[in-house]
Amino acid sequence: MSDLPLDVQKIGKGKYSSWQAHVLTAFPQMFPGPLGFSNVGKALEKDIWSLEAHDLRQFATTSYGSIDDTPFGGGAGMVICPHIVASCMDDLLEKSENAALPRIYVSPKGKPFTAKRAKQLAAGAGAIILCGRYEGVDQRVIDSYGFEEISIGDYVISGGELASYVLLDATVRLLPNVLGAAASLTEESFEHSLLEYPQYTRPALWQNQGQDFTVPEVLLSGHHARIAEWRLQQSEAITSQVRPDLFARYQARKHNR
Ligand code: ADE
């Protein structure tokens, strides 16, 4: 899966000097998955961050190894039992340095994940992320371990593993020395409640299916102030069109400045 020689259970050199991710999952084989590629994968290899996938099934108490049961009150699907998550957490928390890490349960009923939350997480020492499957996780274990519920969007995906990729990628790329050019972080979408302007590269004239496609003149001008002005105009136009909610926030901030 990965282009890096990474181990499944303990991924990265894990010297614990780096940003530490602990993922509690019924599918530890899904890690590092996409997190083993590109800048974030290279950072894992360089020990800028470390990743441990903790197998919830290891804590099964029945002879047939189940970790879930039917929901009280009826309904479809299965719910992960509280004692399974608790045993996995207790095992993890035996190491005192893990106790202070933020605890996140990725779930569609959580608070929306934002660039701001990614920044806060990147400024800390790491995170413990619980991945649900089926209909979710027994609420009592979420409450008793103080998990913060975070959603990656208003849709339901089959399990928290994909959501944890999103959360970890968005966070780890903000760690020092993960992205090639530090400058690429400074003008990111959402930084100022604006979406990014369109980008172009060579060739300046691209021909496809008998049509000529050029690049906006201003970008070839070398005139930095005019380029910056054009980019801001583009960002504003795109944001107002596709994300009126973000644009309203941007305008409010602009007026308060
Ligand atoms: N698990 C299932 N759907 C999810 C979502 N939208 N966000 C986070 N975790 C999820």
How many residues are given for the chain? 257
What confidence score (pLDDT) does residue 168 get? 98
> Does 156 sit in the ligand 1 pocket, CB within 6 Å?
yes
Atom number, ligand 1, closest to the C-alpha of residue 156: 3
Q: Of all protein residues, whose CA lies closest to atom 7 belonging to ligand 1?
A: 151
CATH of 8-172, one of 2.40.50.90, 3.40.1280.10, 3.40.50.880, 3.30.420.610: 3.40.1280.10
DSSP state of 47: T
Give the tokens for residue 9.
Answer: 């259970």
Q: Of all protein residues, whose CA lies closest to atom 10 belonging to ligand 1?
A: 107
The topology (CATH level 3) of 189-255 is Trp Operon Repressor; Chain A (1.10.1270)
Q: Of all protein residues, whose CA lies closest to atom 9 belonging to ligand 1?
A: 107
Q: pLDDT digits over 42-99, tens only?
A: 999 999 999 999 999 999 999 899 999 999 999 999 999 999 999 999 999 999 999 9
Domain positions in the chain are 8-172, 189-255
Q: pLDDT digits over 95-130, tens only?
A: 999 999 999 999 999 999 999 999 999 999 999 999
> Does 12 sit in the ligand 1 pocket, CB within 6 Å?
no
Q: Supply the DSSP string of 209-243, one letter for each residue.
A: TTEEE---GGGGS--HHHHHHHHHHHHHHHHHHH-
Choose among 166, 147, 49, 167: nearest CA to 89: 147
> Does 232 sit in the ligand 1 pocket, CB within 6 Å?
no
- The number of C-alpha atoms within 13 Å of 4 and in the hemisphere containing its C-beta is 23
CA of 82 relative to ligand 1 center, distance in Å: 19
Q: pLDDT digits over 175-215, tens only?
A: 999 997 654 666 677 878 999 999 999 999 999 999 999 99
DSSP state of 196: P
